[in-house]
Amino acid sequence: QKEVEQNSGPLSVPEGAIASLNCTYSDRGSQSFFWYRQYSGKSPELIMFIYSNGDKEDGRFTAQLNKASQYVSLLIRDSQPSDSATYLCAVKAGGTSYGKLTFGQGTILTVHP
Amino acid sequence: DAGVIQSPRHEVTEMGQEVTLRCKPISGHDYLFWYRQTMMRGLELLIYFNNNVPIDDSGMPEDRFSAKMPNASFSTLKIQPSEPRDSAVYFCASSARGGLTEAFFGQGTRLTVV
């Protein structure tokens, strides 16, 4: 089992719709969770992070965390063509692997006008 | 701050040659990560350092790969000898200490081994 798994997609949504991206992780001791966005040919850049169960909202983005289910998601409301990118879920380990940051495969999102 | 700086940005080398990738982390960051990205395998963690000490190198694919961090402001990833399957984008990232701190990425080095 991979440490961090994402649906590779691609995911295609119309402009203005909600895009839903999902991620599961295997280590129950994981302490924090990150969503990065990566445009083609560029480096990953942070969108937001979450560490407590529940929802965290930042503008059009909402991250959701369910530690019991070992599940993290990212919702993008009012999707724009500029949101078209690869979205990477990352998990930071705790315990003996404290600080280790592992990424999922990434989900390719396309927002079409 | 200039961010994480990697060099070179592009490297084309022949199979069998030694390749050295360089990284300067953000000043004050305690953690440094080396990742490799390919279409097939995504962003793989190769090795990470804490306070210049290698903590986990289980992602290093083979003995041909080695990484060092001689001081807090410099790290290298070396491949010797290089093979065509090593062709990928290699990213260096750094983060401050703490569970909620994000990792900042360098621009990456696109390596092509012919």
The shortest CB-CB distance from B45 to any of A32, A43, A102 is to A102
pLDDT of res. B19: 98
Which phi and psi angles does B86 have, rounded to 5°? Answer: -80, -10
| pLDDT > 80? residue A1 | no
What confidence tier does B113 reach under pLDDT thresholds 50, 70, 90? Answer: very high
Sign of CA dihedral A62, A42, A101, B26: negative
Instruction: Give how far A74 is from chain B: nearest CA, Å.
Output: 17
pLDDT of res. B99: 64
Query: Can you tell me the distance from the alpha carbon of A86 to that of A74, in angstroms, rounded to the nearest whole number?
Result: 13
Which phi and psi angles does B55 have, rounded to 5°? Answer: -100, -45
B95 touching chain A per CB within 8 A: yes
Span of A49-58, B36-45, B99-108 with lowest mean pLDDT = B99-108
Which amino acid belongs to residue A28?
R
Transcribe B63-94 into DSSP letters.
Answer: TTEEEEEEETTEEEEEESS--GGG-EEEEEEE
Burial class for A56, CB neighbours closer than 10 Å (0-12, 13-18, 19+):
middle
Could you tell me which residues are beta bridge partners of residue A70?
none
User: For B110, how many CA atoms within 13 A lie in the half-sphere containing its CB?
Assistant: 6
Span of A38-52, A81-95, B97-111 with lowest mean pLDDT = B97-111
Strands B88-95 and A54-58: unpaired
Q: Would you state the structure tokens that stand for residue A10, as one six-digit string?
A: 């691609």
The shortest CB-CB distance from B50 to any of A34, A92, A99 is to A99
pLDDT of res. A56: 96
pLDDT of res. B51: 93
| pLDDT > 90? residue B15 | yes
What's the whole-number mean pLDDT along residues A13-25? Answer: 97
pLDDT of res. A73: 97
pLDDT of res. B101: 85
Q: Which of residues 42-81 of B touch A (CB under 8 A)?
A: 42-45, 48, 50, 55-56
Q: Best mutation site among A101, A105, A107 for testing chain B: the one with the most B CBs within 10 Å?
A: A101
A31 touching chain B per CB within 8 A: yes
pLDDT of res. A98: 84
- Give pLDDT tens digits for A40-80: 999 999 999 999 999 999 999 999 999 999 999 999 999 99
| pLDDT > 80? residue B1 | no
What's the whole-number mean pLDDT along residues B32-58? Answer: 95
